[in-house]
Amino acid sequence: DQQVKQNSPSLSVQEGRISILNCDYTNSMFDYFLWYKKYPAEGPTFLISISSIKDKNEDGRFTVFLNKSAKHLSLHIVPSQPGDSAVYFCAASDGTSYGKLTFGQGTILTVHP
């Protein structure tokens, strides 16, 4: 039972363009959503998060959008840079589980110079 899904295993974009990574969830109890970035041979690092009371959160080149009615969130990276090439995981928490996160399968982003 995959409660958090990233349906695109990979995404390729040109440097300077926008990268859009998508994530869908099924559990309506999720109220906090996060994006993590992972380079090879390293652990995931926190990128950006959003609470369910908001529909948008922005941090520099990274913006996360949340559509609660559609149970969908997306991460926008503008402009994309080659150093953004990594695996991106979305994750969700239901707020009752002491920070336990449910992760999606990840999307491999490749940004070409």
State the nearest-atom distance from the C-beta of 14 to other proteins, in Å.
26
Q: In the stretch 15-34, what mask flags binding to other proteins with x, by CB under 8 A?
A: -----------------x-x
Q: Which is nearer to other proteins, 82 or 95 (CB)?
A: 95
Which one, 32 or 79, has the nearer CB to other proteins? 32
Applying CB under 8 A, does 83 fall inside the site for other proteins?
Answer: no
Check binding of 45 to other proteins (CB under 8 A). Answer: yes
3-state secondary structure the chain: CCCEECCCCEEEEECCCCEEEEEEECCCCCCEEEEEEECCCCCCEEEEEEECCCCEEEECCEEEEEECCCCEEEEEECCCCHHHCEEEEEEEECCCCCCCCEECCCEEEEEEC
* Residue 73 in contact with other proteins, rule: CB under 8 A: no
Longest dimension (CA), the chain: 43
Residues that bind other proteins (CB under 8 A): 2, 4, 6, 9, 32, 34, 41-46, 49, 89, 91, 93, 95, 98-106
